[in-house]
Amino acid sequence: MKRYGTKILALLMALICTICLPRPIFASGDGVKDVENPAETVLPTVGAADAPAVSAKAWALMDLNTGTLLASQNENERLYPASVTKIMTLLLVCEAIRDGRLSLDEKLVCSDTAAAKGGSQIWLEPGEEMTVRDLLKAAFVYSANDACCLLGEAVSGSEEAFVSVMNRRAEELGMSNTHFDNCTGLDDDTTTHLSTAWDIALMSRALMRHELVRDYTGIWMDELRGGKTQIVNTNKLIRYYKGATGLKTGTTSKAGCCISATAERDGLSLVAVVLGAGNSNDRFNGARALLDYGFSHYEIFHPAIETDELPDVPVSHGEEKTVRLTPSGLSEVLVDKGQASDVTVRFETEESVEAPVEAGQKLGRVRFLSNGRELTSCDLIAADPVAKLGFFTAFGRLLASVL
Protein backbone atom coordinates (compact mmCIF):
# COMPACT_ATOMS: atom_id res chain seq x y z
CA MET A 1 0.00 0.00 0.00
CA LYS A 2 2.85 2.30 0.90
CA ARG A 3 4.46 1.51 -2.43
CA TYR A 4 1.30 2.63 -4.33
CA GLY A 5 1.11 5.81 -2.26
CA THR A 6 4.67 6.63 -3.32
CA LYS A 7 3.78 6.07 -6.97
CA ILE A 8 0.72 8.33 -6.74
CA LEU A 9 2.79 11.04 -5.05
CA ALA A 10 5.37 10.79 -7.81
CA LEU A 11 2.64 11.09 -10.44
CA LEU A 12 1.20 14.16 -8.79
CA MET A 13 4.65 15.81 -8.64
CA ALA A 14 5.24 15.00 -12.30
CA LEU A 15 1.82 16.40 -13.20
CA ILE A 16 2.54 19.65 -11.37
CA CYS A 17 5.85 19.96 -13.22
CA THR A 18 4.14 19.23 -16.56
CA ILE A 19 1.46 21.92 -16.15
CA CYS A 20 3.23 24.56 -14.09
CA LEU A 21 6.79 24.47 -15.41
CA PRO A 22 6.62 25.27 -19.14
CA ARG A 23 9.40 24.42 -21.53
CA PRO A 24 11.40 27.24 -23.13
CA ILE A 25 9.49 29.13 -25.82
CA PHE A 26 11.49 30.20 -28.86
CA ALA A 27 11.57 33.90 -29.56
CA SER A 28 10.85 35.11 -33.05
CA GLY A 29 13.53 33.75 -35.35
CA ASP A 30 14.96 31.32 -32.78
CA GLY A 31 14.63 27.57 -32.95
CA VAL A 32 13.79 27.67 -36.65
CA LYS A 33 14.91 24.73 -38.72
CA ASP A 34 17.01 25.05 -41.86
CA VAL A 35 18.16 28.67 -41.73
CA GLU A 36 21.65 28.24 -43.14
CA ASN A 37 22.15 30.97 -45.73
CA PRO A 38 19.40 33.51 -46.48
CA ALA A 39 18.21 33.02 -50.04
CA GLU A 40 18.71 35.87 -52.47
CA THR A 41 15.39 37.28 -53.64
CA VAL A 42 14.83 37.41 -57.39
CA LEU A 43 13.61 40.79 -58.57
CA PRO A 44 12.79 41.60 -62.22
CA THR A 45 15.06 44.17 -63.81
CA VAL A 46 13.41 47.52 -64.56
CA GLY A 47 14.49 49.18 -67.80
CA ALA A 48 16.62 46.17 -68.72
CA ALA A 49 19.60 46.87 -70.95
CA ASP A 50 18.46 44.36 -73.58
CA ALA A 51 14.96 45.82 -73.87
CA PRO A 52 13.98 46.55 -77.50
CA ALA A 53 14.30 49.94 -79.12
CA VAL A 54 10.90 51.58 -79.54
CA SER A 55 10.38 54.53 -81.85
CA ALA A 56 8.14 56.65 -79.60
CA LYS A 57 8.35 59.44 -77.03
CA ALA A 58 7.61 57.13 -74.09
CA TRP A 59 6.80 53.49 -73.41
CA ALA A 60 6.35 51.00 -70.61
CA LEU A 61 5.99 47.23 -70.25
CA MET A 62 4.16 45.93 -67.16
CA ASP A 63 3.16 42.52 -65.83
CA LEU A 64 -0.59 42.71 -65.28
CA ASN A 65 -0.64 40.05 -62.55
CA THR A 66 1.85 41.69 -60.18
CA GLY A 67 2.02 45.27 -61.48
CA THR A 68 5.81 44.91 -61.93
CA LEU A 69 7.37 47.36 -64.40
CA LEU A 70 9.58 45.22 -66.63
CA ALA A 71 11.07 47.83 -68.96
CA SER A 72 10.41 51.47 -69.73
CA GLN A 73 11.59 54.73 -71.21
CA ASN A 74 10.31 58.17 -70.17
CA GLU A 75 7.46 56.36 -68.42
CA ASN A 76 6.63 59.40 -66.25
CA GLU A 77 6.69 62.02 -69.03
CA ARG A 78 3.31 63.76 -69.32
CA LEU A 79 1.96 63.43 -72.85
CA TYR A 80 -1.34 63.60 -74.70
CA PRO A 81 -2.95 60.14 -74.52
CA ALA A 82 -5.55 60.60 -77.29
CA SER A 83 -8.22 57.85 -77.27
CA VAL A 84 -6.21 55.70 -74.85
CA THR A 85 -8.09 57.97 -72.42
CA LYS A 86 -11.10 55.73 -72.99
CA ILE A 87 -9.54 53.02 -70.85
CA MET A 88 -10.59 55.09 -67.84
CA THR A 89 -14.01 55.76 -69.35
CA LEU A 90 -14.58 52.06 -69.92
CA LEU A 91 -13.23 51.16 -66.49
CA LEU A 92 -15.85 53.37 -64.83
CA VAL A 93 -18.60 51.92 -67.02
CA CYS A 94 -17.53 48.36 -66.16
CA GLU A 95 -17.53 49.27 -62.47
CA ALA A 96 -21.03 50.71 -62.81
CA ILE A 97 -22.21 47.47 -64.43
CA ARG A 98 -20.51 45.41 -61.71
CA ASP A 99 -22.20 47.49 -59.02
CA GLY A 100 -25.64 47.23 -60.63
CA ARG A 101 -25.89 50.92 -61.53
CA LEU A 102 -26.01 50.06 -65.21
CA SER A 103 -27.06 46.94 -67.11
CA LEU A 104 -25.96 45.59 -70.48
CA ASP A 105 -29.48 45.39 -71.87
CA GLU A 106 -30.44 48.88 -70.70
CA LYS A 107 -31.27 51.24 -73.56
CA LEU A 108 -29.74 54.73 -73.49
CA VAL A 109 -31.14 57.70 -75.38
CA CYS A 110 -28.52 59.75 -77.21
CA SER A 111 -28.16 63.35 -76.03
CA ASP A 112 -27.33 66.35 -78.17
CA THR A 113 -23.92 66.52 -76.45
CA ALA A 114 -23.02 62.92 -77.29
CA ALA A 115 -24.26 63.24 -80.87
CA ALA A 116 -22.09 66.34 -81.40
CA LYS A 117 -18.81 64.58 -80.62
CA GLY A 118 -16.35 64.65 -83.48
CA GLY A 119 -13.54 62.29 -84.38
CA SER A 120 -14.13 58.56 -84.44
CA GLN A 121 -17.84 57.87 -84.01
CA ILE A 122 -20.78 55.67 -84.98
CA TRP A 123 -22.89 58.72 -85.88
CA LEU A 124 -25.45 58.54 -83.11
CA GLU A 125 -28.45 60.78 -83.70
CA PRO A 126 -30.08 62.85 -80.92
CA GLY A 127 -32.88 60.73 -79.46
CA GLU A 128 -31.54 57.47 -80.93
CA GLU A 129 -31.67 54.49 -78.58
CA MET A 130 -28.89 51.93 -78.20
CA THR A 131 -28.18 49.31 -75.55
CA VAL A 132 -25.24 49.57 -73.20
CA ARG A 133 -24.03 46.30 -74.71
CA ASP A 134 -23.80 47.79 -78.21
CA LEU A 135 -22.40 51.08 -76.97
CA LEU A 136 -19.59 49.17 -75.24
CA LYS A 137 -18.91 47.35 -78.49
CA ALA A 138 -18.73 50.66 -80.33
CA ALA A 139 -16.35 52.08 -77.73
CA PHE A 140 -14.07 49.07 -77.30
CA VAL A 141 -13.86 48.03 -80.93
CA TYR A 142 -14.30 51.23 -82.93
CA SER A 143 -13.25 53.81 -80.29
CA ALA A 144 -16.48 55.75 -80.85
CA ASN A 145 -16.43 59.13 -79.09
CA ASP A 146 -20.20 59.55 -79.19
CA ALA A 147 -20.74 56.14 -77.58
CA CYS A 148 -18.23 56.95 -74.81
CA CYS A 149 -19.88 60.28 -74.05
CA LEU A 150 -23.33 58.69 -73.86
CA LEU A 151 -22.04 55.96 -71.50
CA GLY A 152 -20.37 58.58 -69.31
CA GLU A 153 -23.59 60.57 -69.09
CA ALA A 154 -25.47 57.42 -68.08
CA VAL A 155 -23.01 56.77 -65.22
CA SER A 156 -22.74 60.31 -63.83
CA GLY A 157 -25.48 62.43 -65.37
CA SER A 158 -23.24 64.63 -67.51
CA GLU A 159 -19.84 64.47 -69.15
CA GLU A 160 -18.52 67.11 -66.75
CA ALA A 161 -19.56 65.10 -63.70
CA PHE A 162 -18.17 61.94 -65.28
CA VAL A 163 -14.78 63.57 -65.91
CA SER A 164 -14.60 64.53 -62.23
CA VAL A 165 -15.10 60.86 -61.37
CA MET A 166 -12.41 59.91 -63.90
CA ASN A 167 -9.88 62.16 -62.19
CA ARG A 168 -10.86 60.90 -58.75
CA ARG A 169 -10.49 57.28 -59.87
CA ALA A 170 -7.11 58.09 -61.42
CA GLU A 171 -5.94 59.42 -58.07
CA GLU A 172 -7.16 56.25 -56.34
CA LEU A 173 -5.15 54.12 -58.78
CA GLY A 174 -1.97 56.12 -58.10
CA MET A 175 -1.96 57.87 -61.48
CA SER A 176 -0.18 60.91 -60.06
CA ASN A 177 0.76 62.49 -63.41
CA THR A 178 -2.64 62.25 -65.10
CA HIS A 179 -5.38 64.82 -65.60
CA PHE A 180 -8.47 64.30 -67.77
CA ASP A 181 -10.48 67.12 -69.35
CA ASN A 182 -12.92 64.87 -71.22
CA CYS A 183 -13.90 61.21 -71.57
CA THR A 184 -12.73 60.75 -75.17
CA GLY A 185 -9.16 62.02 -75.46
CA LEU A 186 -9.99 64.72 -78.01
CA ASP A 187 -7.32 67.37 -77.44
CA ASP A 188 -7.89 70.19 -79.95
CA ASP A 189 -9.12 72.56 -77.25
CA THR A 190 -6.95 71.53 -74.29
CA THR A 191 -3.37 71.66 -73.12
CA THR A 192 -3.97 69.94 -69.79
CA HIS A 193 -5.44 66.58 -70.83
CA LEU A 194 -2.27 64.59 -70.11
CA SER A 195 -1.10 61.21 -68.87
CA THR A 196 2.01 58.99 -68.83
CA ALA A 197 2.97 55.52 -70.00
CA TRP A 198 3.19 54.36 -66.38
CA ASP A 199 -0.21 55.77 -65.44
CA ILE A 200 -1.85 54.25 -68.50
CA ALA A 201 -0.37 50.86 -67.59
CA LEU A 202 -1.95 51.22 -64.14
CA MET A 203 -5.44 51.93 -65.46
CA SER A 204 -5.06 49.23 -68.13
CA ARG A 205 -4.33 46.75 -65.36
CA ALA A 206 -7.44 47.86 -63.48
CA LEU A 207 -9.66 47.53 -66.56
CA MET A 208 -8.36 44.07 -67.49
CA ARG A 209 -9.48 42.74 -64.11
CA HIS A 210 -13.07 42.92 -65.39
CA GLU A 211 -14.03 39.70 -67.20
CA LEU A 212 -16.59 41.67 -69.21
CA VAL A 213 -13.75 43.34 -71.12
CA ARG A 214 -12.80 40.11 -72.89
CA ASP A 215 -16.24 39.98 -74.51
CA TYR A 216 -15.30 43.04 -76.56
CA THR A 217 -11.53 43.47 -76.87
CA GLY A 218 -11.08 40.27 -78.86
CA ILE A 219 -13.56 41.32 -81.58
CA TRP A 220 -11.94 42.03 -84.94
CA MET A 221 -15.04 42.85 -87.02
CA ASP A 222 -18.69 43.21 -86.01
CA GLU A 223 -21.84 45.16 -86.69
CA LEU A 224 -24.37 47.44 -85.01
CA ARG A 225 -27.94 48.55 -85.76
CA GLY A 226 -28.93 45.10 -87.02
CA GLY A 227 -26.12 44.97 -89.57
CA LYS A 228 -26.50 48.51 -90.89
CA THR A 229 -23.25 49.70 -89.27
CA GLN A 230 -20.02 47.73 -89.76
CA ILE A 231 -17.13 48.23 -87.34
CA VAL A 232 -13.50 47.05 -87.44
CA ASN A 233 -11.15 47.01 -84.46
CA THR A 234 -8.66 49.88 -84.45
CA ASN A 235 -6.13 47.55 -82.75
CA LYS A 236 -4.53 45.45 -85.51
CA LEU A 237 -2.68 43.33 -82.96
CA ILE A 238 -5.98 41.62 -82.12
CA ARG A 239 -5.83 39.94 -85.51
CA TYR A 240 -2.09 39.51 -86.01
CA TYR A 241 -0.46 39.02 -82.60
CA LYS A 242 -0.60 35.64 -80.84
CA GLY A 243 -2.30 35.94 -77.46
CA ALA A 244 -3.51 39.53 -77.95
CA THR A 245 -6.33 40.43 -75.54
CA GLY A 246 -6.74 44.19 -76.11
CA LEU A 247 -6.80 47.01 -75.40
CA LYS A 248 -6.97 50.55 -76.85
CA THR A 249 -5.44 52.69 -79.56
CA GLY A 250 -5.39 56.47 -79.90
CA THR A 251 -4.32 58.99 -82.51
CA THR A 252 -4.39 62.79 -82.71
CA SER A 253 -2.05 65.36 -84.25
CA LYS A 254 -0.89 66.39 -80.76
CA ALA A 255 -0.55 62.90 -79.31
CA GLY A 256 0.83 61.09 -82.33
CA CYS A 257 0.03 57.38 -82.47
CA CYS A 258 -0.54 55.65 -79.14
CA ILE A 259 -1.55 52.24 -77.86
CA SER A 260 -2.06 50.23 -74.72
CA ALA A 261 -1.67 46.64 -75.93
CA THR A 262 -2.41 43.63 -73.75
CA ALA A 263 -1.59 39.99 -74.40
CA GLU A 264 -1.47 36.68 -72.53
CA ARG A 265 0.56 33.51 -73.01
CA ASP A 266 0.98 30.55 -70.65
CA GLY A 267 -0.58 32.46 -67.76
CA LEU A 268 1.66 35.52 -68.19
CA SER A 269 -0.36 38.69 -68.90
CA LEU A 270 1.41 41.83 -70.11
CA VAL A 271 0.55 45.36 -71.12
CA ALA A 272 2.74 47.43 -73.44
CA VAL A 273 2.04 51.17 -73.55
CA VAL A 274 3.47 53.23 -76.41
CA LEU A 275 2.93 57.02 -76.53
CA GLY A 276 3.90 59.54 -79.16
CA ALA A 277 4.90 57.24 -82.02
CA GLY A 278 5.40 59.00 -85.34
CA ASN A 279 3.10 56.70 -87.27
CA SER A 280 0.79 53.75 -86.83
CA ASN A 281 3.41 51.16 -87.86
CA ASP A 282 5.86 52.41 -85.21
CA ARG A 283 3.07 52.19 -82.63
CA PHE A 284 2.17 48.57 -83.42
CA ASN A 285 5.76 47.45 -84.02
CA GLY A 286 6.84 49.00 -80.73
CA ALA A 287 4.06 47.29 -78.79
CA ARG A 288 4.76 43.98 -80.51
CA ALA A 289 8.50 44.21 -79.71
CA LEU A 290 7.81 45.00 -76.05
CA LEU A 291 5.38 42.12 -75.68
CA ASP A 292 7.83 39.75 -77.40
CA TYR A 293 10.53 40.89 -74.99
CA GLY A 294 8.32 40.25 -71.99
CA PHE A 295 7.24 36.78 -73.07
CA SER A 296 10.80 35.74 -73.91
CA HIS A 297 12.32 37.00 -70.63
CA TYR A 298 9.70 36.28 -67.95
CA GLU A 299 7.22 33.64 -66.85
CA ILE A 300 4.75 33.06 -64.05
CA PHE A 301 5.67 30.55 -61.33
CA HIS A 302 2.71 28.89 -59.62
CA PRO A 303 3.94 27.62 -56.23
CA ALA A 304 2.19 24.54 -54.90
CA ILE A 305 2.54 22.39 -51.78
CA GLU A 306 1.17 18.88 -51.33
CA THR A 307 -0.65 18.44 -48.03
CA ASP A 308 1.51 15.49 -47.00
CA GLU A 309 4.66 17.57 -47.51
CA LEU A 310 3.81 19.97 -44.68
CA PRO A 311 5.48 19.07 -41.36
CA ASP A 312 3.62 19.10 -38.03
CA VAL A 313 4.95 21.20 -35.13
CA PRO A 314 5.18 19.60 -31.64
CA VAL A 315 3.02 21.34 -29.01
CA SER A 316 4.15 21.61 -25.38
CA HIS A 317 1.44 21.25 -22.72
CA GLY A 318 -1.35 21.00 -25.30
CA GLU A 319 -4.48 18.89 -25.61
CA GLU A 320 -2.93 17.73 -28.90
CA LYS A 321 0.71 16.70 -29.15
CA THR A 322 1.21 18.37 -32.56
CA VAL A 323 -0.42 21.04 -34.69
CA ARG A 324 -0.98 20.86 -38.44
CA LEU A 325 0.40 23.63 -40.66
CA THR A 326 -1.14 25.30 -43.69
CA PRO A 327 0.34 27.92 -46.06
CA SER A 328 -0.94 31.49 -45.89
CA GLY A 329 -0.58 33.97 -48.76
CA LEU A 330 0.70 31.49 -51.33
CA SER A 331 0.37 33.14 -54.73
CA GLU A 332 1.83 33.15 -58.22
CA VAL A 333 4.94 35.23 -58.83
CA LEU A 334 6.79 36.68 -61.80
CA VAL A 335 10.26 35.17 -62.38
CA ASP A 336 12.97 35.20 -65.00
CA LYS A 337 12.37 32.78 -67.87
CA GLY A 338 13.53 29.26 -67.02
CA GLN A 339 13.66 29.70 -63.26
CA ALA A 340 10.40 27.86 -62.64
CA SER A 341 11.68 24.58 -64.08
CA ASP A 342 13.92 23.38 -61.22
CA VAL A 343 12.44 24.47 -57.91
CA THR A 344 13.12 23.09 -54.44
CA VAL A 345 10.94 23.68 -51.39
CA ARG A 346 12.40 24.55 -47.98
CA PHE A 347 10.32 24.45 -44.81
CA GLU A 348 11.43 26.55 -41.85
CA THR A 349 9.35 25.85 -38.74
CA GLU A 350 9.48 26.33 -35.01
CA GLU A 351 10.96 23.30 -33.19
CA SER A 352 8.01 23.40 -30.78
CA VAL A 353 5.28 25.76 -29.64
CA GLU A 354 3.70 26.32 -26.22
CA ALA A 355 -0.05 25.77 -25.84
CA PRO A 356 -2.50 27.35 -26.25
CA VAL A 357 -2.11 27.65 -30.02
CA GLU A 358 -4.51 29.83 -32.00
CA ALA A 359 -5.70 28.89 -35.47
CA GLY A 360 -3.77 31.10 -37.91
CA GLN A 361 -0.82 31.55 -35.54
CA LYS A 362 2.43 31.91 -37.50
CA LEU A 363 4.75 28.96 -36.91
CA GLY A 364 7.19 29.18 -39.81
CA ARG A 365 7.71 29.87 -43.50
CA VAL A 366 8.02 27.93 -46.70
CA ARG A 367 10.50 29.09 -49.35
CA PHE A 368 10.63 28.15 -53.02
CA LEU A 369 14.19 28.17 -54.35
CA SER A 370 15.78 27.90 -57.78
CA ASN A 371 19.53 27.33 -57.78
CA GLY A 372 19.68 28.62 -54.20
CA ARG A 373 17.83 31.83 -55.01
CA GLU A 374 14.40 32.54 -53.57
CA LEU A 375 11.53 32.84 -56.04
CA THR A 376 8.81 33.38 -53.46
CA SER A 377 7.82 32.46 -49.91
CA CYS A 378 4.85 32.52 -47.59
CA ASP A 379 3.97 32.01 -43.91
CA LEU A 380 3.10 28.65 -42.42
CA ILE A 381 0.29 28.99 -39.89
CA ALA A 382 -1.53 26.70 -37.49
CA ALA A 383 -4.41 25.01 -39.29
CA ASP A 384 -6.33 24.31 -36.06
CA PRO A 385 -6.38 25.65 -32.49
CA VAL A 386 -4.77 23.60 -29.71
CA ALA A 387 -6.01 24.18 -26.15
CA LYS A 388 -3.73 24.13 -23.13
CA LEU A 389 -3.52 20.75 -21.43
CA GLY A 390 -6.02 20.39 -18.55
CA PHE A 391 -5.28 18.80 -15.17
CA PHE A 392 -7.34 15.64 -15.63
CA THR A 393 -6.14 15.04 -19.20
CA ALA A 394 -2.53 15.44 -18.07
CA PHE A 395 -3.07 13.12 -15.11
CA GLY A 396 -4.67 10.53 -17.36
CA ARG A 397 -1.71 10.63 -19.75
CA LEU A 398 0.78 10.23 -16.89
CA LEU A 399 -1.18 7.43 -15.34
CA ALA A 400 -1.37 5.61 -18.67
CA SER A 401 2.39 5.97 -19.16
CA VAL A 402 3.16 4.41 -15.76
CA LEU A 403 0.63 1.61 -15.59
- 143: annotated active-site residue: yes
- 336 phi, psi to nearest 5 deg: -65, 150
Choosing from 83, 269, 370, 377, the catalytic residue is 83
Q: To the nearest 10°, the Cα dihedral for 390, 395, 396, 398?
A: 130
Choosing from 120, 143, 156, 377, the catalytic residue is 143
State how far the Cα of 147 lies from the Cα of 110, in Å rounded to an integer: 9
- 195: annotated active-site residue: no
User: For residue 367, what is the enclosing H or E element?
Assistant: strand 362-370
Helix (H, G, I), strand (E, B) or coil at 352: coil
With CA atoms as reference, report the closest residue to 298 among 366, 369, 375, 204: 375
Provide CB contacts within 8 A for 384, sequence distance 6+. 320, 323, 324, 359
Choosing from 57, 72, 86, 269, the catalytic residue is 86
Neighbouring C-alpha atoms within 13 Å toward the C-beta of 184: 28
> Which string of DSSP letters, residue by residue, matches 41-104?
EP-PPTT-TTPPP--SSEEEEEETTT--EEEEESTT--B--GGGGHHHHHHHHHHHHHTTSS-T
DSSP 8-class letter at 25: P
- 57: annotated active-site residue: no
Please, are residues 290 and 272 in contact by the beta-carbon 8 Å criterion?
Answer: yes
State how far the Cα of 104 lies from the Cα of 148, in Å rounded to an integer: 14
Please list the active-site residues. 83, 86, 143
